[in-house]
Structure 1
Amino acid sequence: MTQRGIFLFLAGAGGVIAGLAAIAYMGGYRVNLTPSEPLGLWRIVALQRPVEAGDLVFICPPVTASFEEARRRGYVRRGLCPRGFAPLIKTVAALPGQHVEIGANVTVDGRPLPSSIVRTSDGEGRPITPFKTGIVPLRNLFLHSSFASSYDSRYFGPVPDTGLLGLAQPVLTFKP
């Protein structure tokens, strides 16, 4: 094969891959490369009902100083949400009006939240400040991941539900 033939083949293959990726993206498919949930292909499914505690959701983080710092530290990746954040995949642990208490672990309305140890430093030894205890405000969600080192509402607090993209449905995932 000539150099021109190889170039045309690679350009065509690249175009096909880019086209398939665009179609998948428009269909709500996303690739998760973070350890907070299983790695692999996920799909954003539109909510046909109000969000409930226990729902696994895709949500765009709010544009705040704490999320800017989280991106600088590598807790949050780049993506297509406002300000270039990647959407988070998290479980809704508490809804508006529920009381969240953060100590050594998290409790919601007095019930312990499983796998919710609160750390005082990240994996590189940098201090990380837990969110303060309180009531989840209206139009906000308290998010959680059972992954011990997850950056979730234990540290950034409740987030506005306006960033909610939909339910997170695993399509082809695996745990390393």
Structure 2
Amino acid sequence: MRRRGAIMLAGASMVAIACLITVAAIGGYRLNLTPSEPLGLWRIEALRRSAEIGDVVFVCPPATAMFEEARRRGYLRRGLCPGGFAPLIKTVAALPGQHVEVTDHVVIDRRSLAASVVRKTDGEGRPVTPYPGGIVPSGHLYLHSSFVSSYDSRYFGPVPDSGLLGLARPILTFDP
């Protein structure tokens, strides 16, 4: 009898957690479990203006073969964005018309971007191909994270701003 009660309690707890996650997602809350930004609870806040350099944003990556491969390698998680990706949380580093140069680090309009070392391999020793650089096209954003192993525009290049979900506002976060 105790075992059945424990199983029922565990089942009820799982249902309660699933409901909480669903309500949080509908309310614009997201749990960040990646080191690209502080870990914890974030909220998506509607952006009622154009994105600006320095904005921390949530963005859905485009459903492309490059992002599919990134998910296979474990750089991205599954989520509710088109293509089944989870939204990325990154800082806007460059806007349309700005020139991005990628060498061993990132240079935007002839200014070095802080904490932008470009790696040749990922954490498992697999080769990674950096974005070759160029002018950020109209309707796109160049995204960055100061976390050295972040999968960001250093590797995938600018992304369409049509995937922009909004500003990322920390609610309860911490740096490990």
Q: Do both share a fold (TM > 0.5)? A: yes
Question: Cα distance 1:10–1:115, how it changes in 2: closer, same or farther (>3 A)?
Answer: same
Give the drift of 1:36. Answer: 1.0
1:170 aligns with 2:175: no
User: 11-20 vs 23-32, which deviates more?
Assistant: 11-20
Question: Aligned residues, how many?
Answer: 176
Question: Cα distance 1:15–1:126, how it changes in 2: closer, same or farther (>3 A)?
Answer: closer
1:80 aligns with 2:80: yes
Match of 1:15 in 2: 15
Q: Which runs of 5+ in 2 are unaligned?
A: none
Match of 1:50 in 2: 50
Structure 1: distance between partners of 2:16 and 2:74: 31
Match of 2:106 in 1: 106
Match of 2:124 in 1: 124
Structure 2: distance between partners of 1:117 and 1:14: 41
Query: Could you say what secondary structure the match of 1:71 adopts?
Result: helix
Question: Cα distance 1:112–1:20, how it changes in 2: closer, same or farther (>3 A)?
Answer: same
Give the drift of 1:14. Answer: 3.1
Query: Could you say what secondary structure the match of 2:17 adopts?
Result: helix
Identity of aligned residues (%): 68
Q: TM-score, with normalisation over the residues of structure 2?
A: 0.94
Q: TM-score, with normalisation over the residues of structure 1?
A: 0.94
Structure 1: distance between partners of 2:45 and 2:25: 13
Question: Cα distance 1:3–1:137, how it changes in 2: closer, same or farther (>3 A)?
Answer: same
Q: Which runs of 5+ in 1 are unaligned?
A: none
Query: Could you say what secondary structure the match of 2:19 adopts?
Result: helix
